[in-house]
């Protein structure tokens, strides 16, 4: 059976990149029959960088609310918080014993986040991809829908699955497939079309957040960086115009049409015309999600119940895998309580 696993960090509000690169695809994947789906709020990942400990549990609830508001249905998907299932950290340790430091050092996200002073980066940040591998392998996920920036981490997960099998002479973990087919797997910053839209960028004007009001969305799109040429009549001519390409990609992804269709509709038009149309599509698509999210957050008990039930289901699956891995690795299970 197909089993899908994915997660997002509660580092701050979700933005359009998270939505178009991953979350929208998660929702669409709910249509697939004979598939089990687990969607996680990965709070243990979020603490690998400096964070506000007074806000973390609220941020965790907000991400869960965003999942549900976007259309993740707890009847079709198991929705839970990573730290509620202790087996994630346990399996991570076991996998850490077979993770090569050289490979972890080559992870671009580690290099970006550690910055110039690698010596001072925490062990948690360094081991981040091992925890991610544990998240995926714990549920023996077959498919992992993510944005493009997670590709390298998934390669490492596949690598660890084979290392485990080879080292212990088993055919236990299969290779999870990355699913990088969201409508826009790499949404770029509104202020610099060569940089990815991210939660950590200093200026809020670089991204559209799922909780932005319609007025904010309109303002951010209006102020988005562009060039002075009109939109061309074919996609090829957008090459070398990263900001224009980004806005066309966002329009297509939100409207559910191809980039070619967008170009056809707006060929020859200036951004003065295109931007208001894009703002309309964005508001039309995002406003109902924001509204639903706020409603859900007014009744936190409902979200907590969903997360509680989700963690219970996830723990059953996780405990089974961990028990099997203990056996394979020769650890004693005598006193294991599950
Ligand atoms: P995170 O929280 O940074 O991002 C969540 C998801 O959003 C996608 N994404 C983007 N997609 C398109 N354009 C962008 N600008 C953009 N920014 C973010 C990410 O690719 C991701 O799919 N390490 C993961 C969380 C994680 C995970 C896992 C994912 C932990 N364990 C196991 C899958 C499976 C992360 O930091 O995502």
pLDDT at 258: 95
Distance 22 CA to ligand 1 centre (A): 7
Ligand 1 probe mutation, 15, 17, 201, most atoms within 8 A of CB: 17
Residues in CB range of 85: below 8 A, 6 or more apart: 138, 311, 314, 315, 318
**Relative to the CA of 5, which ligand 1 atom is closest?**
34
Helices and strands, counts by H and E, the chain: 14, 5
pLDDT at 252: 97
CB-ligand 1 contact for 297 (6 Å cutoff): no
DSSP state of 209: B
Distance 204 CA to ligand 1 centre (A): 19
DSSP state of 187: P
Distance 151 CA to ligand 1 centre (A): 10
Distance 146 CA to ligand 1 centre (A): 6
Token digits for 19? 């939505």
pLDDT at 332: 87
CB-ligand 1 contact for 249 (6 Å cutoff): no
Strands (DSSP E) found in the chain: 2-8, 35-41, 78-81, 143-145, 177-179
CB-ligand 1 contact for 145 (6 Å cutoff): no
DSSP state of 191: S
Q: Which residue minimizes the CA distance to atom 18 of ligand 1?
A: 18
Token digits for 277? 């149309």
Residues in CB range of 286: below 8 A, 6 or more apart: 16, 19, 208, 210, 212, 217, 254
- Is 187 in contact with 249 (CB distance < 8 Å)? yes
**Relative to the CA of 132, which ligand 1 atom is closest?**
31
Q: Which residues are catalytic?
A: 113, 196, 199
Q: Where are the domains of the chain?
A: 2-185+300-329, 211-296
Phi-psi map region of 80: left, alpha, beta (phi>0 left; psi -120 to 50 alpha): beta
CB-ligand 1 contact for 176 (6 Å cutoff): no
Residues in the chain where the model's pLDDT stays below 50: none
Distance 332 CA to ligand 1 centre (A): 35
- pTM for this prediction: 0.96
Note the Cα 238 to chain centre separation in Å: 27
- Is 139 in contact with 131 (CB distance < 8 Å)? no
DSSP state of 232: -
CATH class of the structural domain 211-296: mainly alpha
State the Cα–Cα distance between residues 59 and 247, nearest whole angstrom. Answer: 28
pLDDT at 333: 75
Strands (DSSP E) found in 27-110: 35-41, 78-81
pLDDT at 117: 85
CB-ligand 1 contact for 265 (6 Å cutoff): no
CB-ligand 1 contact for 157 (6 Å cutoff): no
CB atoms within 10 A of CB 202: 6
- The domain made up of 2-185+300-329 has a fold known as Rossmann fold (3.40.50)
pLDDT at 337: 56
């Amino acid at each position: 059976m197909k089993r899908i696993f994915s997660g997002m960090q509660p580092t701050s509000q979700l933005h359009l990149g998270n939505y178009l690169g991953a979350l929208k695809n998660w929702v669409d994947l709910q249509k697939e029959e004979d598939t089990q789906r687990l969607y996680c709020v990965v709070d243990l990942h979020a603490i690998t960088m400096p964070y506000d400990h007074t806000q973390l549990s609220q941020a965790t609830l907000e991400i869960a609310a965003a999942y549900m508001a976007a259309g993740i249905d707890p009847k079709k998907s198991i929705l839970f918080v990573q730290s509620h299932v202790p087996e994630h950290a346990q399996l991570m340790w076991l996998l850490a014993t077979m993770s090569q430091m050289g490979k972890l050092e080559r992870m671009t996200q580690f290099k970006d986040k550690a910055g110039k002073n690698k010596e001072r980066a925490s062990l948690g940040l360094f081991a981040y991809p091992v925890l991610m591998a544990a998240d995926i392998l714990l549920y023996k996920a077959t498919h992992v829908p993510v944005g493009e920036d997670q590709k390298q981490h998934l390669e490492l997960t596949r690598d660890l699955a084979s290392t485990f099998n080879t080292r212990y002479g088993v055919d236990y973990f299969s290779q999870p497939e990355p699913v990088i087919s969201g409508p826009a797997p790499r949404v770029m910053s509104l202020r610099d079309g060569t940089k990815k839209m991210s939660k950590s960028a200093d200026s809020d004007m670089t991204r559209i957040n799922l909780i932005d009001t319609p007025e904010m969305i309109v303002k951010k799109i209006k102020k988005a960086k562009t060039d002075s040429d009109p939109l061309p009549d074919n996609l090829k001519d957008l090459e070398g115009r990263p900001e224009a390409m980004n806005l066309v990609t966002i329009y297509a992804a939100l409207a559910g049409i191809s980039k070619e269709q967008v170009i056809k509709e707006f060929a020859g038009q200036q951004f003065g015309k295109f931007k208001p149309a894009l703002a309309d599509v964005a508001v039309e698509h995002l406003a109902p999600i924001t509204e639903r999210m706020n409603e859900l957050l007014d009744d936190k008990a409902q979200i907590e119940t969903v997360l509680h039930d989700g963690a219970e289901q996830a723990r059953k699956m996780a405990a089974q895998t961990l028990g099997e891995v203990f056996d394979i690795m020769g650890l004693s299970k005598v006193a294991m309580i599950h």
